[in-house]
Amino acid sequence: MTRSVLAAALALLALAAAHPAQAGTGRLAELEVVDRTTGQALPVHRHQGRLWVAGRPGHEYELRVRSRHGGRLLAVASVDGVNVVTGQTAAPDQAGYVLAGYGQASITGWRKSTAQTAAFEFTALSDSYAARTGRPDHVGVIGVALFHEAVPQRWQDDGLASGGADRQRARAPAAPAAAAPPSAAESLGTGHGRRLDSPVRFTGFQRASRLPAEVIEIRYDSRENLVAMGVLPPPRRPDRQPRAFPAAFVPDP
């Protein structure tokens, strides 16, 4: 590789690092983590082969799964190792959301009924829903398992579909408030927040295979912890240079 080509390649790498992606992009779908408090998608940073986002304690967030496929897909979503629809310890063969071709699902929280969710909220690991229900081992990771449809049926385009290889056409079972911000050293988790209106309906879906066609994972933690882990660079301090003559006249104290 010539020096000029090498320099160009390094420049492209630097540009990619300076402008992280907004979503975890797979072959079948994109997974985006959106801060509902600011309305902005969280930048995705790649580190040692994994994708990371920085969450802010006390902020609510939602997952947006956007299909890149023309047929219907089943998206089984997991937060902190917990299925977001049923509350079970997550496994790919469980209930999930059905996406229409090139459609999108906005998953705002833990599903409480076909009408409401409990908001996802960045909180201390110890106050996360997973930890409070005795399952803290997988706190800090979001995942979506995607399935193709076996044979298109006369189902409604989108909604909830159940899991399990032996009950793929059954109806899905429906899947506990704000927490104090964690200390800088404590990892983030996802709490069980306020109730949100989020109407869905049941639909049928027959999986083309027992194993997912694709899995997308995004890990998360506080910005301070991501800096400590080397995922993010430390914040730049302002170049403070004292001056002997900072102003032209003497101001009032």
Q: pLDDT digit string (tens) for 216-238?
A: 999 999 999 999 999 999 988 76
Share of the chain above pLDDT 90, in %: 68
Where do the domains of the chain lie? 19-229
Residue 183: predicted pLDDT = 46
The rounded mean pLDDT for the chain is 84
CB of 142 within 8 A of CB of 216? no
Looking at residue 226, what DSSP letter applies? Answer: H
Asked whether the predicted pLDDT for residue 2 surpasses 50, the reply is no
Element (H, E) at 129: helix 129-132
User: Band of the pLDDT at 159, cuts 50, 70, 90?
Assistant: confident
Please calculate the CA angle 126-129-130 and round it to the nearest 5 degrees. Answer: 80
Q: List the single range of 3-17, 74-88, 181-195, 236-250 with lowest mean pLDDT.
A: 3-17
Residue 156: predicted pLDDT = 62
Residue 164: predicted pLDDT = 52
CB of 139 within 8 A of CB of 79? no
Residue 3: predicted pLDDT = 38
User: Band of the pLDDT at 5, cuts 50, 70, 90?
Assistant: very low
User: Band of the pLDDT at 23, cuts 50, 70, 90?
Assistant: confident
pTM, two decimals, is 0.79
* 249's tokens: 């006249």
pLDDT digits (tens, 9 = 90+) for 117-157: 999 999 999 999 999 999 999 999 999 999 999 976 666 66
Please calculate the CA angle 103-104-110 and round it to the nearest 5 degrees. Answer: 145
Residue 127 phi/psi, 5° resolution? Answer: -105, 10
Radius of gyration over every alpha carbon of the chain, rounded to an integer in angstroms:
22
User: Band of the pLDDT at 78, cuts 50, 70, 90?
Assistant: very high
> How many CA atoms are closer than 13 Å to the CA of 116, on its beta-carbon side?
7
pLDDT digits (tens, 9 = 90+) for 10-22: 333 333 344 466 6
* 61's tokens: 């967030």
CB within 8 Å of 185: residues ≥ 6 apart:
225
